[in-house]
Structure 1
Amino acid sequence: MLRSQIRLVPKLNVAPAVTRRSIYTSVLESDINITPAGKVNLAVGSGGRSSRTGYTATVFGASGFLGRYLVSKLARHGTNTIVPYRDDLKKRFLKVQGDLGVVNFVEIDARNLQSIEDAVAHSDIVVNCIGADYNTKNFTMADVNIALAERIAQAAKDAGVPRFIHVSSYNADPASESVFYATKGIGEARVREIFPEATVVRPAQMFGREDNLLNYLGPKIKMWTPGKNSKEIWPVHVLDVARALEIIAYDNSTIGKTFELYGPEKLTYQEIRQMVHGITENFAQVGPFGYNFFDYELPLPLAKLIASVSQLVWWKLPNPDQMQRHLIHQKIDQSAATFKDLGLGEEEKTKLADVLFSYVKQWRHPLIAQKGGPNKRMLDDMRHVQHFTE
């Protein structure tokens, strides 16, 4: 048989039922996809790093805690990802999240409308992950959570972007006693007015390697808190939220919906501290006041006063509104969609206890393995044994 007559037939492994995560990428169902605006996107490749989905997505807040994981999930399958940035040093690590030419950077200014419009001009999907839970000398929480959200939504609307996803927060409520929750609630309402087809996502407090939950409750002494750390939350893994956002971005059935994304179990701040302490065994104390699982009660006005004074330093410390949020339990909107509506069941949610050790092990004392006492003399003896014996 001549070589030219040989026909190679690829071997296909066809599953009985094809799911949304088994054909091209982890989310696309077909290699031909039509956006709500009528644009046809052709996916090329087998779904790996060198493939292309045909989509272009802009992720605001890409260098933040949630944004970096979302960029990774979008870019690793070849979605052209636009990363608006302000600080050049904070965005460099995102370049390697995708193949050459996949992750692209556009410098923006939060008050420069033209720069925001340029960032969304050619996108099929725009995701706003920007949020602020404290004030700075340049931007208040209202500036970021309301005014900037309005500008991004308006720019996306004017550019004819078919999919806009606004990441809000749990407990978002314009009438909340917390400035952060109130501004997030107002921001949601303004986005809905400007872009009615927007998808609003309200994640619970997220945990992960660079989070504001474990890094806030874990390595530091959090004894001086209002409510004795009794705040109740449903903590959710940041990777689960990023995965949900990835599905939402390509799923047109989520247009106009509101999602509440929360974890599989309810915990208090105090219970989280106990879990962390069981790993780190941190017996730290301040003067005569030792580590106490029940923590020390601090009146809210005094806590706010201390937090206000701490804002005089140039690094980030707990602020007065954070003290207020300590007294507001998480409330779940039962009318909102959840992970389940995205095909992600309870078994696919990550429990805090399953990954906690990997996130807090660096706070363990290096001599804990030798199980010595917490007093200075015993630690000195253990160091001597550790360094001068074989």
Structure 2
Amino acid sequence: MLSVFSGKAAAKASMAAGRKAAILTQQKRNIYRFPLKSDVNITKTGKTKIAIGQGGRSSRTGYTVSVFGGSGFLGRIITSKLAKHGTLVVAPWRNSRSMRHLKVNGDLGVVNYHEWDLRNVQSIEESVAHADVVINLVGSELNTKNFSMADANIEGSRRIAEAAKKYGVDRFIQVSSYNANPKSESEFFATKGVGEQVVKDIYPDATIVRPAPMYGRNSALLHELVPLTKLGGNVLFRQEIYPTHGRQVAEALEKIVFDDSTLGKTYELYGPERYSKRELREMIKYMTHIGMYGYFPAATGFSIPAPRSFMKVWCWLNEKFNPSMESVNMDTYRRSTIDQVIDPSALTYEDLGMKADDLADWLYSYVKPYIISPSQSLNRTVYGRDEVLKLRDYVNTPKNSFDFFDLKS
């Protein structure tokens, strides 16, 4: 009888141990979703941050991050990454309709809105007053009736940095641009370069991030390359770049936010392969089956080549009479002549323990939504990496044709 009871006691003890092990396993933090390696973290100014939870919903990192420009392509992704594991996010906004979709990225109270205006210093200060980290994604590639590129890229950076400094924000992350250089011929690249210097004057230990042109769903790069109606693409798409994955840039920013070893450093985030915009547009043309049966026949005629002199005048007219529209302007023309240059002194993805994605692995998945169903009746090609590389070789193969008007610029 005694052996029976002892056997039952052993079974109960074994079950209890199993339950305890299961609980401990469930409580184990998922390091792929939670950016912090410790429950207790000390900021550079001595503030103590306590992390709570397993790394998903209902978790908290203890940090508060203000993301200026959260409604943009990169801003939406980084806000999602921060909010999903409980980092409190302050999302300053000018247009409430462009920000409302950010709320669902975190639990109730995680994503918080605050109305701001570049000309209202008090609204900027209120947006950073309780932050531990400020990420500045604000920038403009054109001069509008309200703000010039200098206003957005230089004065905007200055005012946000000054407000953050006034309220003792620990970290400031300035997201700049590839080719940022105060001496650049392009107004956009020059103002981005000056913006970096302005931030460094206020925050000597600010982290500078220069992403290459980013690809992803709803990215500006794809919106530029995919449309059929393009006048003078042979001129405007001359630039050569190292496209980078937008999701990876956001992941890198997330690492930088919680890693104080990145203080005062400059990162250039770019892909492993160099592409010209011209070849990318040609590749996308074949992927979307432009000019094939099942598509409306006039489509191929909408992409009209033009001489450089004509495009220069066209860009000038656009800037003169339509300055606030997101169309080609003189700075667009200047940037088309400036290839991406890598700064050898800047850090890269590898310094963050990451490996850059190759565009060939992702291009088709992002282009596919632009393919309409009738165009697939004769061509159902699924472009994997090998097919994309073959297509790249094909579009770069020299074609025999006359060029009386200098259209192959």
Asked if Structure 1 and Structure 2 have the same fold, meaning a TM-score greater than 0.5 normalized by the shorter chain, the answer is yes
Q: CA deviation at 1:90?
A: 0.9
Quote the residue 1:311 is aligned against: 322
CA distance, structure 1, for counterparts of residue 70 and residue 45 of structure 2? 25
Verify the 8 A CA contact 1:237 1:350 in the aligned structure 2.
yes
Kept in 1, the 8 Å contact 2:70–2:79? The answer is yes
Q: Name the aligned partner's letter for residue 285 of structure 2.
A: H
One-letter identity of the residue aligned with 1:46: Q
Is 1:324 aligned to residue 331 of structure 2?
A: no
If the length of structure 2 is used for normalisation, what is the TM-score? 0.82
The one of 333, 356, 361 aligned to 2:368 = 361
The correspondence for 1:352, drawn from 347, 359, 369, is: 359
Q: Which residue of 2 aligns with 1:388?
A: none
Matches within 5 A, 1:336-347: 336-345=346-355
Task: Select the residue among 49, 52, 74 that pairs with 2:82.
Answer: 74
TM-superposed deviation, 1:239 = 0.3
- Alpha-carbon displacement from aligned partner over 1:85-107 (angstroms, at most 9, x marks no partner): 11111110000011111000011
Distance 1:174 1:22, change over 3 A: same
User: Deviation at 1:218?
Assistant: 1.2
- Could you list the runs of 5+ residues in structure 2 that have no partner in the other structure? 1-8, 380-409
Provide the residue aligned with 1:272 in structure 2: 280
Within 5 Å, which residues of 2 pair with 1:91-240? 91-225=99-233, 227=235, 229-240=237-248
Q: Deviations over 1:319-339 (max 9, x none)?
A: 221121111000010100110
How many correspondences in the alignment? 359
The SS at the match of 1:106 is strand
Deviates more, 1:130-139 or 1:220-229: 220-229
Contact 1:71 1:81 in 2 (8 A): yes
1:139 and 1:124 map into 2 onto residues whose CA distance is 28
1:343-369 Cα offsets, whole Å, 9 max, x none, are 102xxx222222222322233243112
2:388 corresponds in structure 1 to none
- Map of 1:31 onto structure 2: 39
Aligned with 2:20: secondary structure? coil
Give me the TM-score of the superposition, normalised by structure 1: 0.85
1:82 is paired with a residue of what secondary structure? Answer: strand
Rg larger in 1 or in 2?
2
**Structure-1 separation of matches of 2:322 and 2:373:** 33
1:244 offset after TM fit, Å? 0.2
In structure 2, how many angstroms separate the alpha carbons of the residues matched to 1:204 and 1:366?
32
Give the RMSD, CA atoms, in angstroms: 2.7
Which contiguous aligned blocks of 4+ residues in structure 1 show a shift greater than 6 angstroms?
284-288
Match for residue 298 of structure 1? 308
The amino acid across from 1:333 in the alignment is D
Cα distance change of structure 1 residues 287 and 99 upon mapping to structure 2, 3 Å threshold: closer
Corresponding residue for residue 381 of structure 1 = none
Q: Is the 8 A contact 1:225 1:303 kept in 2?
A: no
Say if 1:282 and 1:37 are closer, same or farther in 2 by CA, change over 3 A.
same
Shift of 1:229: 2.5
Aligned to 1:378: none
Structure 1 residues 89-137: Cα deviation after superposition (integer angstroms, max 9, x where no partner)? 1110000011111000011111111111111111111100111001111
Contact 1:24 1:31 in 2 (8 A): no
Give the alignment partner of residue 85 of structure 1, picking from 89, 93, 96: 93
**Letter of the structure 1 residue corresponding to residue 191 of structure 2:** T
| Cα pair 1:62 1:129 within 8 Å, conserved | yes
Unaligned regions of 5+ residues in structure 1, if any? 373-390
Cα 1:252–1:275, aligned 2, differ >3 Å: closer, same or farther?
Answer: same
Distance of 2:113 and 2:198 partners within structure 1: 27
Q: Is the 8 A contact 1:43 1:53 kept in 2?
A: yes
Provide the C-alpha distance between the structure 1 equivalents of 2:152 and 2:170, rounded to a whole number of angstroms.
23
The whole-number CA distance in structure 1 between the counterparts of 2:127 and 2:39 is: 26
